[in-house]
Amino acid sequence: MKLERNDKSMIFQSIDMPDIFFTDYLSNANGNYVKVYLYILFLSKYNKEIKLADLERNLNLPLVTIKEALKYWEAEEVLTIIPDGYIVNDLQQTYLNKIYKLRTSLTKEQIEKSQKSQHREGALEEINNSCFKQGEFNTVWRDDIALLFEKYGFDEEVMVALFKYCKNKANHLHISYVQAVADAWSKNNIKTYADLDSFSGKDKKLFEIKKSIAKKLGLRRNLGEYEEAYVDKWIHDFNYTMEIIDIALKRITSKSDISFAYIDKIISDWHDRNLTTVTDIEDYLQHAKEQIKNKKELAKKNNYNNYEQRGRKDLDDFYTNLKPAAGGK
C-alpha cells in the first residue's frame, strides 16, 4: 500500500508538526491512534509504500487497533483514502476547510447575529475612544448602552452619534442627559443614520423658523421652552410652513401683550378646519371678514343699542373667544 504526502515543501529532514495538531486533535485522540499517525507522518516524507503488517510490527500494536486508528484519522480528515493507499493531509488546510464549512452552514439569522455583535463592539469601542477619558468607560456604561439599544432600537451609527452629540453639549456625560436626548430622537422616529441625517436637516430648518418668529415678534431673546413646544406642534404635528405661521403673527402685531397661547388658538383653529395651504387660510379669513361686516350692517340696520360696542370688534377679536371647529370648513 503506497503512502503519499501532499506537502511537497519539506526541504529539511524533519517532521513538520503544526501547532494545530496539539490544540485541536491531540486531546481527543486515543494514545495508540496518535502513535499510528506520528509514525505514518514520519514515513510519508519518503513516499514509501506501507503495509499494515509493518505498522503492526514496528509499533507493536494489534492489527485491529491500527485499522481503528486509520478509520479515526480518516473521519477527522487528517488522512484521505486513495485507491492504493493514504494521503497525509495538511492539517492547517483541513482546519480552514472546516471553518469554511461551518460558516457556510450557518443560518442567515446566525450570520446576521454574529455581524451585529461585531458592529456593536465596534460602536462601543468608538464611543469609548471619542467620548470618554481613559478608564471612565466601565461596565456600568456598557450596560446602560445595551439598555439604550434595546429601548430605542438605534443602529450602531446612531448610538455613536448620540454620545458624540451629548459630549459636545456637556462637559461631563451623564446617563440621564443621554437618555433625554435619546427620547427626543426616538419621538422623531429616528432609528437609522439616514433617519438622523434627515432629522438634522429638519431640526436646522426648525431652528431657523423659531429664530424668524422671535425676530418678527420683536423678541430680543430665544424662545422659551413652552413657546418652542407650540412651534414644534405647528411644524411637526400640523405640517404648517413659516408662510402660514406668518399669517397668524401678523394678526397680533398690534397687540402689546404677545401670547403664544393666543397664536396657537388661531393656528389650531385653522388646523381643526382642515385648512392646509396659504390660499385655504386667506379664503377663510376673507370669508370671516365678510361675515363680520354683514353682522355690523345688520346691527346698524336694526338700530341695535349696543352697535357702537359691536362696531369696535375686528377680525382679531373674532379669535379671542374662539372655540375649536367641529370639523370641516
Confidence label for 309 from pLDDT (cuts 50, 70 and 90): very low
Domain ranges of the chain: 2-99, 111-191, 225-320
**CA angle, corner 315, sides to 216 and 254, nearest 5?**
35
Query: b or e along 129-154 (b: 16 or more beta carbons within 10 Å of the residue's beta carbon)?
Result: eebeeeeebeeebeeebeebbeebeb
Residues 6+ apart with CB under 8 A from 118: none
In contact, 319 and 262? CB cutoff 8 Å: yes
- Per-residue confidence band for 310, with pLDDT thresholds at 50, 70 and 90: very low
Q: Which residue has the higher pLDDT, 291 or 86?
A: 291
pLDDT band at 11 (very low <50, low <70, confident <90, very high): very low
pLDDT in tens, 176-197: 989 988 998 998 889 998 988 8
Q: CB of 181 within 8 A of CB of 165?
A: yes
2-99: CATH architecture: Orthogonal Bundle (1.10)
Residue 238 C-alpha cell reads as 400640523
Q: Which of 10-24, 50-64, 138-152 has the lowest mean pLDDT?
A: 10-24
Q: In this predicted model, which residue has the larger pLDDT, 11 or 146?
A: 146
Q: Model-level pTM?
A: 0.42
- Beta-strand pair 85-88/2-5: parallel
Question: pLDDT band for position 102 (50/70/90)?
Answer: low
- Separation CA 105–CA 151 (nearest Å): 32
Higher-confidence residue of 83 and 283: namely 283
Give the pLDDT band (50/70/90) at residue 326.
very low
Per-residue pLDDT at 88: 84
- pLDDT band for position 4 (50/70/90)? low
Average confidence (pLDDT) over 96-104: 62
**70: nearest Cα among 83, 81, 58, 57:** 81
> DSSP readout, 92-130?
HHHHHHHHHHHHHHS-HHHHHHHHHHHHHHHHHHHHHHH
Q: Which of 28-32, 168-172, 239-243, 289-293 has the lowest mean pLDDT?
A: 168-172
Name the pairing type of β-strands 79-82 and 85-88. antiparallel
In this predicted structure, what is the pLDDT of residue 125?
Answer: 92
Using alpha carbons only, give the angle 228, 232, 237 rounded to the nearest 5 degrees.
Answer: 155
Report pLDDT digits (tens) over 158-175. 999 999 988 888 777 889
What number is the average pLDDT over the span 46-55? 78
Largest pairwise CA distance in the chain: 136
Residues in the chain: 329
With a cut of 90, say whether residue 148 has pLDDT above it.
yes
Least confident of 52-56, 166-170, 270-274, 309-313: 309-313
Residue 1: its pLDDT value, please?
A: 55
d(CA 281, CA 251): 13
Closest CA to 173 of 184, 183, 162: 162
d(CA 27, CA 217): 82
> CA distances (Å), 310 to each of 228, 252, 317, in order?
35, 20, 11
